[in-house]
Amino acid sequence: MQIQINTANNIDGREALVAAVEADVRAGLSRFGDRLTRIELHIGDESGGPSGGGDTRCMIEARPQGQDPMTVTDHAATPDLAVSGALRKMTTALDRVFGKQDDKRGH
């Protein structure tokens, strides 16, 4: 599973954030690792201020093998909260999709 993290220029501590987010994504989505080819995150401060502290958005796009990409978005006060909220939403969506596939196959 390939992970790509994109941050806006107005996010403080981008390098440390990227390392922490990648670890969170690997841990949070590890059980789907063999079924996903790529995970892409976009993190940005929608208020546009250089100091942050505004409306932070995290969008996650997951690409399951042989299927259309899935996207979720979460807004929060900090990048960490936005990422964890988006990871929760993506986990729920992937559980639903893969659960339906497994059920159809009789597993």
The pLDDT profile of the chain, 107 residues, written as one tens digit per residue, is 899 999 988 777 888 889 999 999 999 999 998 999 999 999 998 876 555 455 899 999 999 998 999 999 999 999 999 999 999 999 999 999 988 777 766 55
Q: What is the pLDDT of residue 25?
A: 95
CA distance 36 to 48: 32
The pTM for the full model equals 0.85
Q: What is the pLDDT of residue 20?
A: 93
CB count within 10 Å of CB 33 equals: 10
Q: Are 40 and 18 in contact (CB under 8 A)?
A: no
How is domain 2-104 classified at the CATH fold level? Answer: Double Stranded RNA Binding Domain (3.30.160)
CB count within 10 Å of CB 82 equals: 24
